[in-house]
């Protein structure tokens, strides 16, 4: 910023190119005396394009925004706008609106396309698949651009790190964006993921050129960062007149990008000023249809009563929509799009099964089925179905945070030491897997909020360092409550198969011990055998000693709190 102030001559050329600067003064005046008005800059970079010294006033103004947000306090209108932007982005970034398909290449439509024309996304993915000759997955999320535009870069970068992680977990190598604002942030902040804009992939001949001649092409302001994008957009609609800020005939080169007033949260912080940006475009359009490739701009034009079409609507044979969907309808569109994508995955079917089992467990709990008397009567009435009923109950009980030890004892009591162990370890393993899937695919944020930060970081570190050994350690030594632990492992990066077999193996000794003790009680109560009681107790004691004997081999997992994967030997 200081470097800019030293070089800027205050010539005022940028004031003639920007409604914001025309009202509030040149960038050097704003930086010198009224820095708080920098929040009304849309960061469209039009001032950069006309600066005779090739300076970047927009970057200097954005730097001020960033500092004022970081150091605070921000002006009240800005604070309200930023709070709203954060809530919007947080909702779009979480369940049920976010979705990541597993594919090497995914299409990222962005919030506005998903909200306004979700029906287009299927056409777009088919076109991309045919062009690239590969499966094209879908990624639905919010890139946090509304938050970024107001200067909160810290929150935005944290969200982008999480997005990067989600893409890596899905095996994504390439993201094709349908939104330039998303493209701006993802291309700058994603690591080990290639980011390309959709016009870099699809040739001009795929688009239906069914616009009338009384139309002109509008370049949204983010496109000013990529001349090749503007060139390709002009190539798609080469039969249209290129839209420019003046009345001169369009040149063969792409026209300049113009802001509709929606950038930087200006519609929230200063609606009147935002409308002056919009007025500028509408007046120059002279009642022509505006063809653009930003849904935010398209919606602004339509709300003003100007006919507008989005470039990607040229990939569908359906007529462009002439009005903007209401806000509830936009959220409903995003929800239906995400849920439809989930329905097509095995995860969704698994989630439905889990919800069904848990709902059944809740009903059974309400009917007191889990009491000892009712359980005994139930198993007695159905000797053939009893094992299946037992497994179903055992599979659901841990998810409801119900104690499992009584069920394990009951297995030994009713079925003896052999079948009792088989049924109980099967039920216990199922009961450990259902919470794992619930937390991994449905209730990440809810589960995460229930555990203190220090203990959560400890578990994450141990899983990253030791993998299945961390599961073994926590099964042998109760660092966390058993039922909560099942949920927590679902949030860690451990592969499910490693979690499955290590849970089975290291729960087995305790399972044998409790089943043996339950079996000994059955021998005494049902048969009056004191000898059977003694044998059962001895087996139980020996089984309990197995974890004690092998714990030293896993204590290293609990030690070396500061060890990291980089310094692990």
Give 62-73 as a DSSP string: HHHHHHHHHH-P
The share of the chain scoring above pLDDT 70, in percent, equals 76
Mean pLDDT of the region 72-97: 92
Which segment, 54-58, 226-230, 353-357, is predicted with the most confidence on average?
A: 54-58
**With 50 as the cut, is the pLDDT of residue 79 above it?**
yes
Any residues with CB less than 8 A from the CB of 389 and at least 6 apart, and which? Answer: 378, 379, 382
pTM score above 0.75: no
State whether residue 260 is helix, strand or coil.
coil
Mean pLDDT of the region 394-416: 76
Angle at 552 between CA 551 and CA 557, to 5 degrees: 85
Least confident among 193-202, 313-322, 399-408: 399-408
Closest of 212, 205, 215, 93 to residue 146, by C-alpha:
93
What is the residue-averaged pLDDT of the chain?
Answer: 81
Mean pLDDT of the region 107-127: 94
Question: Which domains are present in the chain?
Answer: 2-73 (no CATH), 79-203 (1.20.1050), 205-322 (no CATH), 345-558 (no CATH)
Q: What is the pLDDT of residue 328?
A: 92
**Given pLDDT bands bounded at 50, 70 and 90, which one contains residue 523?**
low
- For 131-143, write each residue's pLDDT tens digit: 999 999 999 999 9
Q: How far is Cα 176 from Cα 108, in angstroms, rounded to an integer?
A: 6
Which segment, 2-6, 175-179, 427-431, 525-529, is predicted with the most confidence on average?
A: 175-179
Least confident among 11-15, 92-96, 210-214: 210-214
Instruction: For residue 82, report the phi and psi dihedrals to the nearest 5 degrees.
Output: -70, -40
Q: What is the pLDDT of residue 565?
A: 37
Q: Which residue has the higher pLDDT, 352 or 427?
A: 427
**Given pLDDT bands bounded at 50, 70 and 90, which one contains residue 567?**
very low
Mean pLDDT of the region 385-399: 79
What is the CB neighbour count within 10 angstroms for residue 166?
A: 16
Least confident among 33-42, 232-241, 473-482: 473-482
What is the CB neighbour count within 10 angstroms for residue 306?
A: 17
Helices and strands, counts by H and E, the chain: 26, 9
- For 273-289, write each residue's pLDDT tens digit: 999 999 988 888 877 88
**With 80 as the cut, is the pLDDT of residue 83 above it?**
yes
First to last CA, the chain: 47
Any residues with CB less than 8 A from the CB of 407 and at least 6 apart, and which? Answer: 390, 393, 394, 397, 424, 427
């Amino acid at each position: 910023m200081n470097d800019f102030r030293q070089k800027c001559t205050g010539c005022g050329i940028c004031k003639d190119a920007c409604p914001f600067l025309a009202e509030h003064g040149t960038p050097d005046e704003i930086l010198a005396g009224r820095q708080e008005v920098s929040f009304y800059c849309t960061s469209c970079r039009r001032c950069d394009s006309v600066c005779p010294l090739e300076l970047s006033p927009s970057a200097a103004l954005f730097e001020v925004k960033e500092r004022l947000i970081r150091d605070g306090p921000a002006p009240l209108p800005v604070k309200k706008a930023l709070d709203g932007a954060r809530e919007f982005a947080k909702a779009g970034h979480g369940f049920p609106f976010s979705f990541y398909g597993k594919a090497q290449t995914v299409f990222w439509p962005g919030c506005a396309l998903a909200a306004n024309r979700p029906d287009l996304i299927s056409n777009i993915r088919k076109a991309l698949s045919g062009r690239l000759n590969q499966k094209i997955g879908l990624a639905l999320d919010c890139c946090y651009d509304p938050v970024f535009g107001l200067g909160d870069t810290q929150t935005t970068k944290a969200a982008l790190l999480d997005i990067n992680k989600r893409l890596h977990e899905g095996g994504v190598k390439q993201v094709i964006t349908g939104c330039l604002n998303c493209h701006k942030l993802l291309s700058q902040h994603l690591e080990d993921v290639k980011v390309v804009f959709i016009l870099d992939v699809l040739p001009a001949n795929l688009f239906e050129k069914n616009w009338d001649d009384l139309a002109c092409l509008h370049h949204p302001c983010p496109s000013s960062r990529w001349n090749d994008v503007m060139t390709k957009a002009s190539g798609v609609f080469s039969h249209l007149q290129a839209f420019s800020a003046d009345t001169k005939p369009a040149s063969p080169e792409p026209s300049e990008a113009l802001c509709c007033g929606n950038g930087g949260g200006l519609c929230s912080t200063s609606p009147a000023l935002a409308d002056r940006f919009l007025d500028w475009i509408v007046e120059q359009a002279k009642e022509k249809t505006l063809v653009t490739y930003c849904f935010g701009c398209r919606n602004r034009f339509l709300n003003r009563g100007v006919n507008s079409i989005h470039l990607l609507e040229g990939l569908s044979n359906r007529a462009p929509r002439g009005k903007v969907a209401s806000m509830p309808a936009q959220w409903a569109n995003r929800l239906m799009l995400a849920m439809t994508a989930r329905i097509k995955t095995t995860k969704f079917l698994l989630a439905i099964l889990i919800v069904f089992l848990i709902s059944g467990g809740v009903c059974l709990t309400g009917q007191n089925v889990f009491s000892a008397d009712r359980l005994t009567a139930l198993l007695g009435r159905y000797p053939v179905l009893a094992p299946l009923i037992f497994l179903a109950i055992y599979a659901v009980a841990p998810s409801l945070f119900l104690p499992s030890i009584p069920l394990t004892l009951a297995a030994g009591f009713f079925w003896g030491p052999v079948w009792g162990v088989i049924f109980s370890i099967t039920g216990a393993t199922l009961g450990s897997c259902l919470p794992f899937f619930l937390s991994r695919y449905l209730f990440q944020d809810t589960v995460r909020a229930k555990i203190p930060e220090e203990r959560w970081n400890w578990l994450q570190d141990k899983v990253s360092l030791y993998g299945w050994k961390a599961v073994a350690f926590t099964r042998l030594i109760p660092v966390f409550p058993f039922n909560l632990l099942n949920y927590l492992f679902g949030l860690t990066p451990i592969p499910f198969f490693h979690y499955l077999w290590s849970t089975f193996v290291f729960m087995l000794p305790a399972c044998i011990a409790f089943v043996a003790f339950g079996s000994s009680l059955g021998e005494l109560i049902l048969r009056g055998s004191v000898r059977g009681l003694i044998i059962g107790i001895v087996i139980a004691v020996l089984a309990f000693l197995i974890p004690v004997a092998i714990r030293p081999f896993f204590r290293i997992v609990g030690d070396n709190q500061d060890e990291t994967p980089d310094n692990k030997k």
